[in-house]
Structure formats: C-alpha cells, structure tokens
C-alpha cells in the first residue's frame, strides 16, 4: 500500500480533526482524545477540564489541540490514503513536553532541537496491518536525522500478548526502524535511535 506521510501543520488542522472524528476510534477504542494530553501538565489539564461537563469534554479537548497545533507545541505526522487521513503519529521535540505530562509520563528534555520522542500512534481500524505505523515512524526518523536531532526515543508498553489499542506502538515496530532497547531510570524500556554521539 502506498501512503503519503505529511508533517502536521496549520494547513492540515481540518484533516487532523477529520481523522480523529471520523476514522480514528470507529472500533470502540477506549481512547477519546485529540492527542493533546501529552503536551499538558496535570495542573494545566485540571485547570482546563475542571468543571467541564462530560458532554463538553470533546469540544474543549479539540480547542486545546487546535491551540497546540497553531503554536507548534503539538507535532507529528498524518498518513494519507489519497486525500483521506488514516493514521497519526505524535512525534515531538522533547522540549515541547512538560516536565511531567498529565498522562504521568516524563518525555521532557530541556534543550530544543536535540531530542525527540514518539509517544502515540493511532491508525484507523480499516487501515491497520498495512505498514502505516512503520511508514509514519520511518518518516519521523528520517526527519529527525535531517533536522539535526541527536536522539529519537519511543516508549512502548511491554505486553505479554498483542493489545489492539496499543497507542505507544510495539517494540518490534521500533526495531524495524533501527531503534535499540535501553532501560530508563525507572526501569521502563525505551527504544532509542541515536544519530550522533552525545
């Protein structure tokens, strides 16, 4: 299958929302977001969503994501099958993440332009198993190297068996794209691709 991978930009905001609203979660996935949570601290998340009615959470999350895209804080790639977005990868400069994300993760690195993190994949159910996640990750790797980054990390969830809604991506996906396994400070597995000696 041939897909077109495009870096997220303001010009693709409507394609981004069309993907998340029309195709991303059509298989009853437990996730309902616009991938905005990784770039938010817990304090920011509580401040924005505290008191918001459940029926309004989606609208508020969408507004947050739009602001993040417009400011460049939310970055990543969309995969297109013809003119339809069918996949997403959140790949961001680590300086754009808070020290501790509202998800409880820490991807932060204080110097911009040095390290990137791949924190989320979402592929529309009908397009899974066609190599789209690999194409997204490979584009992220190529661009990180071309843009002068030293490191790109992935933080997969380690599971005994395949989990259909694994938004972090499996270890084997990162291995296919030249990442090596290292153990982080908290014992968590990190998949890392190094472009230059540190």
pLDDT tens, residue by residue, 43-88: 999 999 999 898 888 899 999 999 999 999 999 999 999 999 999 9
pLDDT tier at 183 (50, 70, 90 boundaries)? confident
Q: Which domain CATH number covers 116? A: 3.40.630.30
What is the number of structural domains in the chain? Answer: 1
Instruction: Return all residues near 98 (Cβ < 8 A) that are at least 6 apart.
Output: 39, 40, 41, 44, 108
How far is it, in rounded angstroms, from Cα 182 to Cα 198? 15
In this predicted structure, the answer to whether residue 172 has a pLDDT above a threshold of 70 is yes
In this predicted structure, the answer to whether residue 185 has a pLDDT above a threshold of 60 is yes
Tens-place pLDDT, residues 128-142: 999 999 999 999 999
Tens-place pLDDT, residues 102-131: 888 889 999 999 999 999 999 998 999 999
Helices within 24-181 (DSSP H only): 42-49, 57-71, 132-146, 171-176
Range of the domain at 148: 4-194
Token duo for residue 108: 């932060």
For residue 32, the model assigns a pLDDT of 64
Summarize the confidence of residues 15-28 as an average pLDDT. 86
Summarize the confidence of residues 133-153 as an average pLDDT. 97
pLDDT over 90, % of the chain: 69
Give the C-alpha distances (Å, rounded to integers) separating 149 from 114, 115, 146, 172, 173. 5, 6, 8, 23, 20
For residue 187, the model assigns a pLDDT of 66
Residue 1 vs residue 128, higher pLDDT: 128
Q: Cα angle vertex 17, ends 38, 4, to 5°?
A: 95
């Amino acid at each position: 299958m041939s897909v077109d991978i495009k870096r997220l930009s303001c010009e693709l905001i409507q394609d981004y929302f069309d993907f998340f609203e029309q195709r991303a979660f059509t298989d009853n996935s437990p996730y309902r977001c616009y991938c905005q949570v990784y770039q938010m601290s817990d304090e920011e998340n509580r401040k924005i969503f505290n008191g918001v009615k459940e029926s309004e959470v989606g609208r508020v999350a969408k507004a947050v994501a739009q602001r993040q895209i417009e400011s460049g804080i939310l970055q990543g790639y969309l995969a297109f099958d013809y003119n339809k977005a069918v996949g997403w990868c959140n790949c961001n400069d680590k300086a754009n993440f808070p020290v501790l994300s509202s998800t409880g993760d820490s991807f932060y690195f204080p110097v911009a332009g040095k390290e990137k993190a791949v924190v989320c994949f979402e592929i529309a159910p009908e397009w899974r198993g066609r190599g789209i996640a690999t194409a997204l990750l490979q584009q992220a790797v190529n661009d990180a190297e071309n843009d002068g980054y030293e490191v790109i990390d992935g933080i997969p969830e380690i599971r005994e068996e395949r989990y259909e809604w694994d938004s972090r991506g499996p270890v084997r996906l990162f291995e296919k794209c030249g990442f090596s396994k290292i153990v982080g400070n908290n014992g968590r597995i990190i998949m890392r691709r190094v472009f230059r000696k540190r």
